[in-house]
């Protein structure tokens, strides 16, 4: 079970280059349930997510690079490309800050993962976070992959 | 972990109609690892199987009928269609007897699932079972879906 909240980021934090950064590509074979392929630097995986907004069941299953390339030909809509920065927050939490590339730029979203729904609901975001879009389907990557 | 043995069935047992039977369709999005969609009567699922012949890690994840239809357009090779009969064997075991339809007919295969590798290796097949093809990749459904 993954429990997370998601925010729009109107202004990027300073000195992003000090944080660990990964290159992520992802595409969707289906959106409900989510069946997604993802490249994360040089790791490849297939992800299945059941329905729901804040809490969803998720399975991450390994792919070879060859399987990823094969499945890439089957995705619907666009391949999402983004840089992901891991930014430490108070309370031992981490913001995953995604800077989208290509025609989704300059969209920036941050996700924070929690160990319980109570912790998620009591979270006070740092000042650089913008609108809470946790409950908006419009900022699901699956939706972003399909918009024209 | 799934542990099973597989046999060719040269002559069908008598009175098949006395056993429970299901209609199965399955197609492959990828063969290594196996990423498969399956319809089993009116249930639909996505299956992921890691490599290996007798023992493989397997995840079965639910699909809606709509998701199944969507993914059907993405399969490689043919959609396999078969009737599956569940036939009780000695020792509380069950043979899953698959009668293939369409251009794979009249192929018939039986699989038996075991709770341990020891049980699998000590299995004595009933007299109506033919050649043991457990260790032959040629009778994997994923391979059957791709042959011309």
From residue B146, alpha-carbon distances to A50, A116, B31 in Å are 30, 45, 9
Placement of tokens 């089993």 in the chain: B40
- In 10 A of CB B21, how many CB atoms? 15
Whether A71 sits inside 8 A of B35 (CB atoms) is: yes
- In 10 A of CB B74, how many CB atoms? 19
What's the rounded Cα separation, in Å, for the pair B66 and B62? 12
From residue A2, alpha-carbon distances to A93, A106, A112, B14, B128 in Å are 14, 26, 10, 51, 49
- Residues A89/A97, Cβ–Cβ less than 8 Å: no
Q: Which residues contact A143 (CB under 8 A, 6 or more apart)?
A: A31, A137
- Report CA B76 to chain centroid distance, whole Å: 18
pLDDT of residue B54: 60
Q: What is the ipTM of this complex?
A: 0.80
Q: Which of B48, B63, B71 sits opposite A46 (nearest CB)?
A: B48
The one catalytic residue in A28, A44, A68, A85 is A28
Catalytically annotated residues of B = 28
Q: What is the pLDDT along chain B (148 residues), one digit of tens a residue?
A: 779 999 999 999 999 999 999 999 999 999 999 999 999 999 999 999 987 656 678 899 999 999 999 999 999 999 999 999 999 999 999 999 999 999 999 999 999 999 999 999 999 999 999 999 999 989 989 899 998 8
pLDDT at residue A118 above 80? yes
Whether B29 sits inside 8 A of A64 (CB atoms) is: no
Interface of A with B (CB under 8 A): 29-30, 32-33, 35, 46, 48, 50, 59, 61-64, 66-67, 70-71, 74
Domain annotation for chain A: domains and CATH numbers:
2-144 (2.40.320.10)
Phi, psi (degrees; rounded to nearest 5) at A124: -105, 115
Q: Which of A30, A62, A71 sits opposite B30 (nearest CB)?
A: A71
pLDDT band of residue A53 (cuts 50, 70, 90) is: low
Residues of chain A with Cβ-Cβ distance to B66 below 8 Å are 32
Ramachandran quadrant class, A10 (left: phi over 0; alpha: psi -120 to 50; beta: rest): alpha
């Amino acid at each position: 079970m993954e429990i997370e909240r998601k925010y729009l980021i109107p202004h990027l934090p300073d000195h992003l280059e000090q944080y660990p950064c990964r290159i992520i590509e992802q595409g969707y074979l289906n959106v409900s349930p989510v069946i997604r392929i993802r490249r994360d630097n040089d790791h490849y995986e297939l992800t299945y997510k059941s329905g729901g907004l804040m809490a969803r069941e998720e399975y991450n299953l390994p792919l070879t690079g060859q399987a990823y390339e094969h499945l890439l030909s089957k995705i619907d809509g666009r391949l999402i490309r983004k840089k992901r920065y891991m930014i430490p927050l108070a309370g031992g939490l981490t913001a995953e800050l995604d800077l989208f590339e290509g025609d989704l730029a300059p969209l920036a979203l941050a996700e924070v993962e929690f160990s319980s729904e109570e912790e998620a609901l009591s979270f006070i975001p740092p000042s650089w976070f913008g609108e809470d879009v946790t409950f908006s389907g419009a900022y699901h990557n699956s939706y972003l992959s399909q918009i024209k």
